[in-house]
Amino acid sequence: MPASVETSVPSVPSSPHTMNTYGRLPIALSHGQGVRVWDTNGKSYLDGLGGIAVNTVGHNHPKLVPALQDQIAKIIHSSNYYHVPNQEKLAAKLVDLAGFSDNGGKVFFCCTGLEANEAAIKLARKFGHDKGIERPEIVVYEKAFHGRSIATLSATGNEKVQKGFGPLVEGFIRVPLNDIDALKKATEGNPNVVAVFFETIQGEGGINAMRIDYLQQLRKLCDERDWLMMIDEVQCGMGRTGKWFAHQWAGIQPDVMPLAKGLGSGVPIGAVVAGPKAADIFQPGNHGTTFGGNPLAMRAGVETIRIIEEEGLLENAAKVGAHLKEAFGEQLAGLKGVKEIRGQGLMLGIELDRPCGVLVQRAAEQGLLMSVTADSVIRLVPPLILTEAEADEIVAIVCPLIQQFLAEPVAP
């Protein structure tokens, strides 16, 4: 293999009729059971990716599948011209989990993460306009990922995502993570700031966490300056870190919280949960989406939360995640080239000192699905039903791969 492509994932030619947007592995999955999936050749894999933090309750879950079958037979889609009873049910549940049940929290439903973030950005702008700020600005972060619509890629802190799609949307101020002084300096004397917008733990950016003390300082600053705190929990939310939402480890509450990925265990769904400060910003005609909150997606959300509760998956994510992190720590201790093992619960990253995209293919050959993000960070975001025994299997595949990889000469 020539050195220049050494670190990229080998891909097979795309089908002639689908756009060439993904560097795909030469694998097609046909079915799954729990944390295991099989490809169309019958090879089995441990699913360390969970469809990128989406398959919360694993594959073919015995409670989720019959519930979805029942829903499909009744009605898949109606329209927001009518009431959808499970919208109210899921919204009430999310408001409760986010701690807003006593003070008027509300939810807007959509279908994807970027769409939830797009709604958050619109909320922040209207929040500004409602108080006379005509050119509202939103603080965003280095290495952030918020999606690939024009507004959300503008909020994203990754030039690769933005390249070729300018002009970007204006009204974003970018700051480094975990540096309250830098934030104060960047916004000093600026009356147009209306919100700060961030991931509690950056997913695509390389599993980078906001520190607890920073989150608490930031909450205070948002209150003092009347800014909305908007926390993108699209990837780190829905139980992944061992709490419903990752920011809850800091004992704070956001004003606006976009969700998606794990909320429907694989059925496309997005949501924006708003606290009292943002719940009533949108009025009829301000926002909407055809598919948002449809009966199938709402049923998936309701059942996903029910299963997380009934099966103690928050506790499981915390316990098995800690076990996994500890096992990696032991196995990789002292290995030169491993920079850091980080993350919380079942959202873990292992940062190497060099690009390691090639490991995705090698892991798949060994029967493990995982990803590499930010070029050099191995990312594991498996279903929350992962057992310690399955975690040990992951470690037994990943660690030798890392050891072997780091012993290879570095490409010039």
User: How many whole angstroms separate alpha carbon 303 and alpha carbon 289?
Assistant: 23
Does 114 help bind ligand PLP (rule: CB under 6 A)?
A: yes
DSSP state of 248: G
Of 232, 255, 303, 390, the residue at the interface with ligand PLP (CB under 6 A) is 232
Nearer to ligand PLP (CB atom), residue 93 or residue 240: 240
Does 233 belong to an annotated binding site?
yes
Query: Any known ligand binding at 217?
Result: no
Q: Is 289 known as a binding-site position?
A: yes
Phi, psi of 62 (to 5 degrees): -65, -15
Q: Which of 260, 281, 324, 372 binds ligand PLP (CB under 6 A)?
A: 260
Only one of the segments 141-149, 221-229, 246-254, 337-345 lies at the binding site for ligand PLP (rule: CB under 6 A); that segment is: 141-149
User: CB 258 → ligand PLP: shortest distance, Å?
Assistant: 7
Q: How far is CA 284 from CA 259, 280, 287, 311, in A?
A: 22, 10, 7, 39
Catalytic annotation, pick one of 145, 172, 245, 282 = 145
Determine the Cα–Cα distance for residues 181 and 193; give it in Å rounded to an integer: 16
Element (H, E) at 92: helix 85-97
Q: How far is the CB of 366 from ligand PLP (least distance, A)?
A: 26
Q: Which is nearer to ligand PLP, 45 or 145 (CB)?
A: 145
The residue nearest ligand PLP at its CB is 113
245 to each of 241, 251, 346, how far by Cα in Å?
A: 7, 10, 13
- In single-letter form, the type of residue at position 297 comes to A
Q: Please say whether the beta carbons of 200 and 247 come within 8 A.
A: yes
Query: What is the rounded (10 degree) CA torsion for 392, 394, 397, 402?
Result: -110
234 is in an annotated binding site: yes
150: helix, strand or coil = helix
The answer to the question of whether 161 is labelled as a binding residue is no
Q: How far is the CB of 232 from ligand PLP (least distance, A)?
A: 5
Site for ligand PLP in 183-202 (CB under 6 A): 199
Q: Does 154 bind ligand PLP (CB under 6 A)?
A: no
Question: DSSP readout, 45-77?
Answer: EEESSHHHHT-TT-BS-TTHHHHHHHHHHH-S-
SS3 101: coil
**Closer residue to ligand PLP in complex, CB, 277/379:** 379
197 is annotated as contributing to ligand binding: no
**Residues near 243 by beta carbon (within 8 Å), at least 6 away in sequence:** 249, 314
Contact segment (CB under 6 A) with ligand PLP among 94-102, 111-119, 131-139, 280-288 equals 111-119
Angle at 219 between CA 235 and CA 102, to 5 degrees: 80
CB of 116 to ligand PLP, least distance (A): 8
Q: Annotated catalytic, 145?
A: yes
CB 74, min distance to ligand PLP, A? 26
Rounded to a whole number of angstroms, the minimum distance from the CB of residue 381 to ligand PLP is 9
CA-CA distance, 358 to 405, in Å (whole number)?
A: 9
Residue partners of 396: CB distance under 8 A and separation at least 6: none
Catalytic residue at 255?
A: no
The widest CA-to-CA distance across the chain, in whole angstroms, is 62
Q: Which two tokens stand for residue 148?
A: 């690939």
SS3 291: coil
Stretch that binds ligand PLP, among 32-40, 109-117, 119-127, 377-385 (CB under 6 A): 109-117
Is 261 an active-site residue? yes
**CA gap 169, 122 in Å, rounded:** 12
What does the alpha-carbon distance between residue 254 and residue 330 come to, in Å, rounded to a whole number?
A: 36
Question: Does 299 sit near ligand PLP (CB under 6 A)?
Answer: no
**Out of 145, 244, 291, 328, which residue is the one contacting ligand PLP (CB under 6 A)?**
145
Distance separating alpha carbons of residues 3 and 6, to the nearest angstrom: 5
Binding mask 117-136 for ligand PLP (x = CB under 6 A): x-------------------
Number of residues engaging ligand PLP in binding (CB under 6 A): 15
Least Cβ distance, residue 344 to ligand PLP (angstroms): 15
Nearer to ligand PLP, 203 or 295 (CB): 203
Part of the chain binding ligand PLP (CB under 6 A), chosen from 112-120, 161-169, 177-185, 396-404: 112-120
203 contacts ligand PLP (rule: CB under 6 A): yes
Active site residues: 145, 232, 261
Which spans of this chain sit near ligand PLP (rule: CB under 6 A)?
112-114, 117, 145-147, 199, 203-204, 232, 234-235, 260-261
